[in-house]
Structures are given as C-alpha cells and as structure tokens.
A and B are shown apart, each in its own frame.
Chain A
Amino acid sequence: MFLGEHRDILVFAEQEDGEIHQVSYELLGKGRELAEKLGVGVSSVLLGHVIGKKATELIHRGADTVFLYDHASLGDFDVVRYTVNIMKLVEEERPEIFLMGATRIGRTLAPRIAAALRTGLTADCVDLDLDANGDLIQIRPAFSGNIMAQIKTKTKPQMATVRYKVMKMNEKNPERKGEVIRREAEIIDDTGTRILEKIEADEVDLTEAEVIVSAGRGFKKPEDLKLLEQLAEALSGVVGSSRPLVDAGWISKDHQVGFSGNIAKPRVYIACGISGAPQHLFGMRDSDVIISINKDPSAPIFNVSDYGVVGDFYEIVPILVRELKKERSKEDT
C-alpha cells in the first residue's frame, strides 16, 4: 500500500474558446488509473470564462473534484494569471501528482508553476507508472527519441507534462458524480503581456489525420513531394515528413512526424523513402496499419511495418495513384 499522505492527483484542464483540449480527458483517464492504485481521488483545475458546464464534463470523464476559476480575465491563456491562481490551489490542496498536456500551453505554463513551487517537472512524457513505493515513474524519450528514460521526482507534487494521443481517454459517463468547487480568482490587471490580435492558423493537423502519407530522405528533390501530394489527395489524407526534409526547408514543420514533431496515430500510415530513425518511428509506430516502401530491405522501418514493400516509391506511387483514381471513378459512376 502507498504510505504517506493520501492526496489527490491533479489534472490541468486546458481550454480554448471554452472547449476542453482532448489531452486533458486523456490525462483524467490515466489519472484515474494511477489514483485507484494509490487509493486517492482525481481532481482537475479549470480556468476560463463562462465555462461552468465544462466542469461537469470533466467529472463525466473521470474527475472527482473540479476546481473552477471562472472570470473574464481567464478566458484567454495568460501564463502569469494562470500560474498565480494554480500555484495558490496547489499550495492549499497539496496534490501528490500534477499532470498537464505537453501542448504549447502546457509546456509554457508547467515550468513556471514548477519553478514557483520549487518542484521537479518532467517534460513530454509518453507513459506514467508507479513504483513499489507509489512514486511516479515518468517515461520520456531522450536524445531525440533514440533512448527512453524513466525519471523520478524527489519533491511533491511530482509534475509532468504528457504528450497528446499517447494515453487512452475514458468514455464519457454522464452518470458519474463529483463536486464542482468554485474558487475566487485572483485578478491581476497588468501581467506585463497583452494579446493584441489572434490569427487563425492554416496548418495541417497530423494528430487528427486518418490517413498520412510520409516522405523521407529517399526523396531526391523538393519538387518530387508533388508525387506524395497526389497520393494524399487520392486517399483524402495529409502529407507527413521525416525530420531531414523539414530541416532542409523542403516542407514546413507542421508536417513533421516524430519525436520532435508530431505524434500521429492515423488509421493508415504510408512511409515512402523513410529509413526509420528511432526519432521518426516514435511518432508513427502506433498507427493502426503501417505500409512502408523502401529500396533498402534492411531499413529499420520494416521492423514496425505491417506491410513492407521493398522497392522504389518513385515507381510504385504513380501506379498507386492511378489505381486509386480508377477506383474512385468506378464508385462515382
């Protein structure tokens, strides 16, 4: 049994425009699993404006308690306002473990809170577990995903940011009961930063894609990526890439699959001319079905592929595109 103080596991509920980011639900799922082993509860902290309904949703997804800070100044993310309010909550509630999504917001907020609390923080975890003493084992890739490291924390709370789409989220259960505790938000008029403007981003979202066709070092020149765009179009998918092409400036970073890019879990992943460096495999190996095309029969990508085609994608992809188009026109008629 876990000895020591029985304190909750706290999960930061990230919201944008009043919508909860899915990673927060995933963390509630993992949080429940850990909490049951420790015999403690799961609480969540939600900051925003006019978001009371979302607190109930957090309970349906696994929280026992939701600490709600509802104030106009908290609608948009402000790192200083969020830090000050969460800091106070953590000092009062003293959670054992405090989890956040490894999103841009989580990764800018978590370090500030950890530094303010003088506690340890592990970045970008891909798994969490407990040791025999009930201490948190934080698993993360190191050295560009070439090795995995298990990190432990001597201080409390044990803080970690966790990658999106690596944990399973619980089904929504509308019968689940819990308590919403409204907290008075601390108001700070001037934090030193001010949002002047918000601009919609026009980037691909690999984390939500069902089909990804990816390019690697096997591509000889940037113009050849058109080949892959045609394949992506024929499959209603999106184009992904391994790191070297992004580093070379052939394709923008939002297309990058891998540890330093995006973790993708599509239904089908087609890797073309990708040898399969660990850092890339890390970002795609959880895809439902992996098809890879590579000239080199010893390419490591074949070790994670369901279908490994030894051949030249420069020959194969055009035929595949043609066949897909044929199939589509058959269906249309």
Chain B
Amino acid sequence: MSKKLSIVVLIKQVPEIEKVRFDYETGRLDRSSATAVINPFDLNALEAGVEIKEKIGGVITALSMGPEKAEESLRDAVARGADQAVLLTDARFAGADTLATSYTLASAIRTLGTFDLIICGEKTIDGDTAQVGPEVAELLGTPHVAFVEQIRDIDKERIIVKTKVGRRYHIIELKFPGLITVTKDVNTPRLPTLRDKLRSRKIPVTTWRADNLSGVAQTEFFGLSGSPTWVARVYSPLGEKRRGQIIKSTPEEAVKIIMDVLKNLNILR
C-alpha cells in the first residue's frame, strides 16, 4: 500500500467572541465570562482534513500553540477526527504576534517531519489577521492558496481548489507539499458523537516546549522577543457620534420624512 497523506491542521483556542466584554472606561478586555472554543474557521479546516482522509486516506495531526488549557481544544480536535495532537506551550512562546506565532508553528511542523498538506482556517475570530497561514507557508518554503471556498478534487499528488481572486473565482491546482486556508463556505463541520468524545479522552496530547524545537529553531524568534509588532494603545471605536433627528411618529408620517430626504438627495430617478 502506498504511503498515507500527511495532513497537518492548525488549531487555535479562542474565547467565544460574543461573550468577551470590553470596558470602555479602562480599555480592558474581560474574557472571564467567555468559554474557550476552537476557532470556528479551524473547525472548517479540520472537517476538510477529515473529508480528505475519508476519501483517499491520511493521517491528521492537529497542532496548536497556546496555554496549557488549549489541550481541551486539541482533544476536541481528536474527537472530531484528528489522529494525533501536539500542543506547543511554553512561557517563551507567550506574547507572540503573527510572525512569531508562524515561526513557532513552522518550526513545529519541521520537527514533525514531512507533510503533504497543511490546512488552516482563513483567520481567527480574535486576531482576525488571516496572516498566520500564508506566513507559515513562506517560512516552510511551500506554496499556498488562501481563502479556499471549495475543494474540487484531491489525490495523493495534488489538490484542486476554488478561491476568489479580485473579481473572479480561480480554480487552482496546488501540488503537494502545500498549504491552504479555508473559509466557512468550504464545508459544514460535523459534531463529534459521544463515542468520539470518549475515544478522544484516551488519545494522549503531545506537549512540546521551546526546547523541543531547538533543533530547527532559534528561541529568540519565539514569543514576545520574536514579535516585531506591538500594541501601543487600544480605545473605543465609537468616539464621534452623529445622532441626528429622532422620529417618533406614525408610520405614514415617517415615510413622508424619508421620502423628502430621498428626494432632496436626488436618489429618486
């Protein structure tokens, strides 16, 4: 039998964004009421990996960088179909911007050995940069296609994907090894069954510290020291308000006012 496709899925544990509260007085984020979940776009990445595995066979490694408790999310990834899980956790990884994060993830992928396909979510809901996927690809010297909306075909040599570039969709063939980032449109992630959840309890999550990557990486490029960008200030975006006329009248009168506004703007043609 020929060798199995080696798939790496990048996972980030994020707070449920709707439950993060922002204190406009102090400028602080309160995440205490937010539970930690797998970044929703990463669920699409994982599902894409599982569908590929079901179709042509493969081994899926879920890889995440984060605090110790990110292990929960990796276990969730195993319940959803990953075969193994690696958590990168170390105080030296903390405070990383996208470049340092990408460097650390790329170093871990090198340490894992060879890969055919890396799959990431298009972005995370907390960082919202969409930068880590393409940066990891560059650091590994591998091609990538970002914002994949559909996987059209796959075999052991290449994947054919659909992505929007400018005004059009491009159907692109990517030869392995390579990386894709996927949008929500690529699939609908399945929920793990109770059996999957129980099984995932028995699979060990491998934990790697900075020293585990020292064979392929320079530790000064990890975490805060490896991060060229820094946050100088945060503030509320709703400084300027333009509260105009408030209309509390009958629907007919309100429509009359709206019609006048539209007429004055020369919108009715």
Q: A residues near B, CB below 8 A?
A: 16, 21, 76-77, 79-80, 83, 103-105, 107-116, 118-124, 137, 141-155, 191-201, 210-211, 235-236, 253, 259-260, 267-268, 270, 278, 281-282, 285, 288-291, 293, 297, 300, 302-312, 315-316, 319-320, 323-324, 327-328, 331
Name the residue on B nearest A211 (C-beta).
B267
B22 touches A195 (CB 8 A): no
A154 touches B230 (CB 8 A): yes
Stretch of B43-51, B209-217, B254-262 at the chain-chain interface: B254-262
A16 touches B268 (CB 8 A): no
Chain B residue numbers with a CB within 8 Å of A111 are 98, 102, 130-135, 138
Q: How far is the CB of B114 from chain A (nearest CB, A)?
A: 15
Q: How far is the CB of B104 from chain A (nearest CB, A)?
A: 12
A323 touches B255 (CB 8 A): yes
Name 23 A/B residue pairs within 8 A (Cβ), A-sorted. A104-B163, A111-B134, A111-B138, A112-B144, A118-B99, A119-B228, A123-B128, A124-B129, A147-B236, A193-B175, A195-B170, A200-B168, A200-B169, A235-B262, A259-B128, A306-B242, A306-B261, A309-B254, A316-B254, A320-B258, A320-B259, A324-B259, A331-B269
Name the residue on A nearest B24 (C-beta).
A147
> Which of A79, A112, A199, A282 makes the CB contact (< 8 A) with B171?
A199
A143 touches B98 (CB 8 A): no
B202 within 8 A of A: no
Q: How far is the CB of A312 from chain B (nearest CB, A)?
A: 8
Name the residue on B nearest A148 (C-beta).
B237
B252 within 8 A of A: yes
A144 touches B125 (CB 8 A): yes
> Which of B228, B243, B267 makes the CB contact (< 8 A) with A155?
B228
B267 touches A108 (CB 8 A): no
Complex: A328 Cα to B97 Cα, angstroms: 55
Complex: A107 Cα to B131 Cα, angstroms: 7
Given contacts A267-B265, A308-B244, contact A303 B238 (CB under 8 A): yes
Given contacts A120-B97, A154-B230, A308-B247, contact A114 B168 (CB under 8 A): no
> Which of A115, A122, A311 makes the CB contact (< 8 A) with B254?
A311
B171 touches A197 (CB 8 A): yes
Name which of B164, B265, B267 has the most chain A CB atoms within 10 A of its CB. B267
Name which of A197, A268, A285 has the most chain B CB atoms within 10 A of its CB. A197
B204 within 8 A of A: no
B137 within 8 A of A: yes
Complex: A293 Cα to B246 Cα, angstroms: 10
Given contacts A124-B128, A150-B231, contact A308 B243 (CB under 8 A): yes
A147 touches B143 (CB 8 A): no
B229 touches A151 (CB 8 A): yes
Chain B residue numbers with a CB within 8 Å of A76 are 170
- Chain B interface residue count, CB cutoff 8 Å, equals 81
A278 touches B130 (CB 8 A): no
Name the residue on B nearest A326 (C-beta).
B259
B143 touches A192 (CB 8 A): yes
A199 touches B169 (CB 8 A): yes
Q: How far is the CB of B216 from chain A (nearest CB, A)?
A: 16
CB within 8 Å of A: which B217-258 residues: 227-238, 241-249, 251-252, 254-255, 257-258
Name which of A196, A267, A268, A331 has the most chain B CB atoms within 10 A of its CB. A196
> Which of A104, A122, A147, A192 makes the CB contact (< 8 A) with B164?
A104
B17 within 8 A of A: yes
Complex: A290 Cα to B132 Cα, angstroms: 36
Name which of A21, A146, A200, A316 has the most chain B CB atoms within 10 A of its CB. A146
A268 touches B17 (CB 8 A): no
Given contacts A77-B166, A83-B138, A307-B247, contact A268 B99 (CB under 8 A): no
Name which of A105, A147, A270, A306 has the most chain B CB atoms within 10 A of its CB. A147
Given contacts A120-B228, A153-B229, contact A147 B22 (CB under 8 A): yes
Name which of B27, B133, B243 has the most chain A CB atoms within 10 A of its CB. B243
Chain B residue numbers with a CB within 8 Å of A268 are 261-262, 265, 267
A260 touches B128 (CB 8 A): yes
Apart from A79-B143, A113-B138, A115-B99, 7 more pairs, CB < 8 Å: A16-B168, A111-B134, A112-B135, A142-B128, A149-B233, A195-B172, A303-B243
